[in-house]
Amino acid sequence: MQIYGKFYQKSWDERMKQIIQSESLNTVQTQLLRDSAVNKSLGDTMIENYITDYHFPEGIAFHYLINNKDYIVPMVTEEPSVVAASSHGAAIIAKAGGFFAKSSERMMIGQIILEEVTDVKKTSEELKSLEKVLLEIANKAHPSLKKRGGGAKWLRVRILDYDLISVDIAIDVQEAMGANMINTMLEAVALNIKNKLQQVILMSILSNYATECIAKASCKIPFELLSKDNVSGKSIAQKIAQASRIAQLDVYRATTHNKGIMNGIDAVVMATGNDWRAIESGAHAYAARNGRYKGLSSWSVDDNYLSGEIELPLPIGFVGGSIGIVPLVKVNQKLMNVESANELENVIVSVGLAQNLAALLALVTDGIQKGHMKLQLKSLVTAAGAKDTEKEEIIKYMLAEGKRDLASAKTILAGIRKRGKNDGH
């Protein structure tokens, strides 16, 4: 696409005009871009070169009983079955008394990286002796955080190599995720280190490895709640524990185990206006914290119960970033009836555990495809070009014939339309 001039300086109308002039889209496609642009001023505020709004579906998961409080959970996702699985896992856990969830204080680590350090040991000692001064400088750079009871709390110095040092500052971010606030604070401290110690600063940025912002959830499920068809709950519980064991031993399985957990977590993170890349990167790094990548949750059995637990960093925000400006985020916070970042963390970590239970339950019993199939077929027939009125009939044929592919969906659709014509419809 040939674009003339600086796209970012153009108005939305001018950007559309350029796209039309480039002839890379037909009129129907251009109209779709236009019609999807429902909040131009918000889009232009949030990102650069805005052209339209890309919509994701939002659904609600039910049956969440967490620390004796009932929740409904808005989830934003493009993947079929995630919402249903979430409600299914949560319902089983609710019958067992619900989730017990807790989250730590909300500290984030910011890093100032010093390079070309000639004597890392000496510089490290100097930096440590400056802790009080440097924390004060950090807090002065964003004073409102300290006024709220948060702010820079401690500092540590790590020697990364013979010439590299990381100054880590732990900052209590209160109700925000904190990235922007931390970065401002770090830059002020970095400037001081540069001037006072004549050191070269390579970069100053928060770390997404949020080891000081951890959320945990657990549950204990009596075997009888897990029985299915003619299989005993105890046998299913043992298979779930075995599946969990494999996720601790094998990175191939652990990655998929965690993907299932993140199906739920990301969906709520998105619905609540949070940065899912930050949560994803932190979660996967945490999964490898002991030197090998492992499942973030684990399940075990005793005489009568299947017990599950999950633990991961959840540096989400309840204010700040896009949270205050995307109107639906406020609606979702209201729907959930959460009042703080800690409470939201408790819900999100519980969703991860419910999602994991539902996935493992399906895997060790029916297999994952059975539950997924109806929704997957819906997506497939949509991709085949079926109208709403045609979808049910095609799905019925596909189920009857055991077909699960796009080519079959297209063939069946063509057959139905041909028959419709012959019938005079």
Please enumerate in sequence order all residues whose Cβ is within 8 A of that of 93, keeping only pairs 6 or more positions apart, or say none.
Answer: 65, 99, 219, 221, 350, 353, 354, 357
User: Whose Cβ is closer to ligand NDP: residue 99's or residue 318's?
Assistant: 318
174 binds ligand NDP (CB under 6 A): yes
Question: Does residue 275 bind ligand NDP (CB under 6 A)?
Answer: yes
CB of 186 or CB of 398, closer to ligand NDP: 186
Identify which of residues 206 and 358 has a Cβ nearer to ligand NDP in the complex.
206
Q: Is 206 in the site for ligand NDP (CB under 6 A)?
A: yes
Number of residues that bind ligand NDP (CB under 6 A): 20
Catalytic residue among 102, 196, 372, 410: 372
Among 89, 110, 317, 352, binds ligand NDP (CB under 6 A): 317
Task: Quote the tokens at residue 27.
Answer: 């009129």
Does 321 participate in binding ligand NDP (rule CB under 6 A)?
Answer: yes
Residue 77 backbone zone (phi > 0: left; psi -120 to 50: alpha; other: beta): beta
Is position 16 an interface residue for ligand NDP (rule: CB under 6 A)? no
248 near ligand NDP (CB under 6 A): no
Q: Among this protein's residues, is 259 annotated catalytic?
A: yes
Known active-site residue 275: yes
Q: Are 315 and 277 in contact (CB under 8 A)?
A: no
Q: Please list the residues that pair with 397 across neighbouring strands.
A: none
Task: For residue 398, give the 3-state DSSP assignment.
Answer: helix
Does 18 engage in binding with ligand NDP (CB under 6 A)? no
> Is position 372 annotated as part of the catalytic site?
yes
3-state SS assignment for residue 332 = helix
Give the footprint of ligand NDP on residues 65-124 (CB under 6 A).
none
Angle in degrees, CA 362, 365, 367, rounded to 5: 55
Q: How far is the CB of 330 from ligand NDP (least distance, A)?
A: 14
Find where tokens 């924390």 sit: 135
Strand ranges of the sheet holding 214-222, from the earlier edge strand across to the other edge: 100-103, 214-222, 305-313, 297-301
DSSP state letters, 107-143:
EEEEEEEEES-S-HHHHHHHHHHTHHHHHHHHHHHSH
Nearest distance from C-beta of residue 180 to ligand NDP, angstroms? 3
Among residue numbers 138 through 167, which ones bind ligand NDP (CB under 6 A)? 144-145, 148
Nearer to ligand NDP, 181 or 247 (CB): 181
One-letter-per-residue 3-state SS of 55-76: CCCEEEEEEEEECCEEEEEEEE
Residues annotated as catalytic are 79, 259, 275, 372
List contacts with ligand NDP (CB under 6 A).
144-145, 148, 174-181, 206, 208, 275, 278, 317, 319-322
